[in-house]
């Protein structure tokens, strides 16, 4: 029996119990945006970590939910692997679109439906299970493990950077297993080494004291036109952002990254069909499209509201106020605070300095070396474990709170394949995972934890 088969067999013999653990974890309504059920979920998690032999600490700063740190002492105490997950979940609205109650994990057709099943309790519980299987098969870990689980990822990780700074000594590690990659729709595993950043701004302008009859638009200033023209000034006619300095810090892909881009799968026709379009913007296709997806920042209008908006209705109003929301997806090494300053300077210089431009949140983009010790271990293991080849993304195109770990604490991050799929309905009703993926990821995690111990530090 090969080593990997031993692992598979060990997972299988406890699979029912591991699934029960996941169902139990999914029974807690740990919705951070609503402050619900976090404490009970933290107690359950602490119990699991204690069962596995960890020393557990609760890390917090004033106002924050508690992050849990479960420390396992390894045979070689000079080397430490961090595993990052989060125990909070998204809200469940609209509740009436769920086919089964979101906090009663339900099996249907080989899938498990529950809020958090994919994001990210599935990975969290799979990794706890992997620690158990590892210890059962191999005894003490050869290196220290710091199992670090925050409770506010789904509400913007507002305090996360401060927690990481306040406990930088406690969190010191050599590598970090991030939240979790994916399987694609065809079941091919995917992993990534970084993420885009996000700067979320809200523009607001009040031009006159109150709404007026539109006949006076002749002489009274229009908040709607002012904010509209301010937004229009951010881009040229091709859709490129023209804010001075916006692109200055962008790091182009290196040789290895270009190879990864070449190898990336992107089913253009399927995506066009899903969106109901015949062309991507700027006619993007092939490598250009993949390049933009990972290396191009965006300035997206997430919302704009002014005046009277009942479809088909008529009100001849000059609206007093206008509001717009823009989310900028940032790429390494753009900095959210700096970009917000550039946007404000741009608005001022273009004659829109009277528009309030608030930053609602920002998370910086993050990237880690593509040849980290963990990365090599996870890639080598994936090549043996999965029947399909691994797709490696230098970054994921979405955003997560990686920056405080990867850049703040200087710990290289890698996000090996995890339990989710693109149709897992993350942040949506009927979130689910394939139960076989869950077992598969437990075994794969055991295998790369073992491989990591046998990989020479880079």
Interacting residues with a copy of itself (CB under 8 A): 156, 196, 198, 200, 202, 204, 207-209, 212-222, 224-225, 228-229, 231-232, 235, 237, 239, 271, 274-277, 280-281, 284, 289, 292-293, 296, 298, 300-309, 311-312, 314-319, 322-323, 325, 327, 329, 360-361, 397-399
Q: Which is nearer to a copy of itself, 225 or 386 (CB)?
A: 225
- The answer to whether 324 touches 303, Cβ cutoff 8 Å, is yes
Provide, rounded to whole angstroms, the least separation between the CB of residue 383 and a copy of itself: 28
Token output for 195: 């993420």
3-state secondary structure of 317: strand
Q: How far is CA 227 from its chain centroid?
A: 31
Beta-sheet pairing, 175-177 with 413-414: parallel
Q: Which is nearer to a copy of itself, 139 or 210 (CB)?
A: 210
Provide, rounded to whole angstroms, the least separation between the CB of residue 92 and a copy of itself: 15
Provide, rounded to whole angstroms, the least separation between the CB of residue 90 and a copy of itself: 11
12: enclosing H helix or E strand: helix 3-13
Q: Which is nearer to a copy of itself, 4 or 323 (CB)?
A: 323
Q: Which is nearer to a copy of itself, 63 or 283 (CB)?
A: 283
**CB burial readout 139-172, b (16+ within 10 A) else e:** eebbbbbbbbbbbbbbbbbebbbebbeebeeebe
- The answer to whether 90 touches 149, Cβ cutoff 8 Å, is no
Peptide bond into 120 cis (omega under 30): yes
Angle at 220 between CA 217 and CA 225, to 5 degrees: 70
Provide, rounded to whole angstroms, the least separation between the CB of residue 290 and a copy of itself: 10
**CB burial readout 27-58, b (16+ within 10 A) else e:** bbbbbbeeebbbeebbebbbebbeebebebbe
Radius of gyration of the chain (CA): 24
Q: Which is nearer to a copy of itself, 141 or 159 (CB)?
A: 159
Provide, rounded to whole angstroms, the least separation between the CB of residue 200 and a copy of itself: 5
Provide, rounded to whole angstroms, the least separation between the CB of residue 69 and a copy of itself: 28
Q: Which is nearer to a copy of itself, 137 or 217 (CB)?
A: 217
Provide, rounded to whole angstroms, the least separation between the CB of residue 268 and a copy of itself: 9
Provide, rounded to whole angstroms, the least separation between the CB of residue 168 and a copy of itself: 28
d(CA 417, CA 391): 9
d(CA 65, CA 67): 7
Please report the sign of the dihedral spanned by the C-alpha atoms of residue 199, residue 398, residue 45, residue 127.
Answer: negative
Provide, rounded to whole angstroms, the least separation between the CB of residue 367 and a copy of itself: 16
Q: Which is nearer to a copy of itself, 109 or 238 (CB)?
A: 238
Q: Which is nearer to a copy of itself, 216 or 263 (CB)?
A: 216
Token output for 13: 């013999």
User: Which DSSP letter does residue 158 get?
Assistant: T
**CB burial readout 266-300, b (16+ within 10 A) else e:** eeeeeeeeeeeeeebeeebeeeebbbbbbbbbbbe
Counting every residue, how long is the chain? 458
Provide, rounded to whole angstroms, the least separation between the CB of residue 352 and a copy of itself: 12
Token output for 196: 């885009």
Q: Which is nearer to a copy of itself, 52 or 224 (CB)?
A: 224
Provide, rounded to whole angstroms, the least separation between the CB of residue 158 and a copy of itself: 11
d(CA 309, CA 111): 42
Which residue in the block uniquely carries the two structure tokens 């989060």? 86
Q: Which is nearer to a copy of itself, 24 or 325 (CB)?
A: 325
- The answer to whether 173 touches 81, Cβ cutoff 8 Å, is yes
Token output for 265: 């799968």
Q: Which is nearer to a copy of itself, 11 or 293 (CB)?
A: 293
């Amino acid at each position: 029996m090969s080593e990997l088969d031993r692992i598979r067999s060990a997972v299988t013999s406890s699979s029912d119990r591991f699934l029960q653990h996941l169902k139990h974890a999914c029974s807690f309504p740990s919705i951070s945006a609503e402050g619900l059920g976090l404490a009970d979920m933290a107690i359950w998690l602490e119990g699991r970590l204690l069962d596995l032999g960890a020393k557990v600490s609760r890390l917090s700063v004033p106002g924050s939910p508690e992050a849990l740190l479960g420390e396992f002492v390894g045979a070689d105490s000079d080397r430490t692997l961090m595993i990052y997950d989060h125990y909070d979940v998204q809200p469940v609205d609209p509740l009436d679109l769920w086919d089964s109650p979101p906090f009663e994990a339900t099996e249907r057709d080989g899938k498990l439906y529950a809020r958090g099943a994919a994001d990210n309790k599935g990975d969290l519980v799979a990794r706890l299970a992997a620690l158990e299987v590892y210890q059962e098969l191999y005894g003490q870990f050869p290196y220290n493990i710091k199992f670090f689980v925050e409770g506010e990822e789904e509400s913007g990780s507002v305090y996360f950077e401060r927690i990481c700074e306040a406990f930088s000594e406690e969190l010191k590690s050599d590598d970090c297993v991030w939240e979790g990659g994916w399987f694609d729709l065809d079941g091919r595993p995917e992993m990534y080494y970084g993420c885009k950043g996000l700067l979320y701004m809200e523009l607001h302008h009040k031009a006159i004291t109150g709404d007026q009859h539109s006949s006076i638009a002749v002489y009274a200033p229009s908040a709607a036109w002012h904010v509209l023209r301010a937004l229009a000034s951010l881009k040229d006619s091709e859709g490129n952002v023209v804010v001075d300095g916006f692109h200055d810090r962008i790091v182009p892909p290196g040789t290895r990254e270009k190879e990864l881009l070449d190898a990336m799968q992107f089913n253009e026709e399927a995506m066009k069909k899903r969106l109901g379009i015949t062309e991507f913007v700027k006619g993007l296709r092939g490598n250009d499209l993949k390049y933009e997806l990972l290396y191009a920042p965006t300035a997206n209008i997430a919302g704009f509201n002014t005046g009277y908006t009942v479809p088909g209705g008529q009100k001849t109003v000059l609206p007093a106020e206008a509001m717009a929301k823009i989310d900028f997806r940032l790429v390494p090494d753009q900095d959210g605070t700096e970009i917000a300053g550039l946007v404000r300077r741009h608005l001022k210089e273009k004659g829109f300095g009277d528009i309030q431009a608030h930053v609602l949140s920002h998370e910086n983009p993050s990237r880690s070396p593509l040849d980290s010790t963990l990365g090599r271990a996870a890639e080598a293991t994936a090549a043996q474990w999965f029947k399909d080849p691994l797709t490696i993304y230098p970054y994921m195109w979405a955003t997560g709170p990686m920056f405080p770990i990867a850049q703040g604490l200087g710990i290289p991050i890698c996000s090996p394949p995890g339990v989710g799929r693109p149709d897992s309905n993350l942040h949506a009703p009927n979130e689910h995972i394939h139960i076989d993926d869950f077992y598969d990821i437990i075994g794969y995690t055991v295998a790369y934890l073992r491989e990591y111990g046998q990989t020479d530090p880079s």
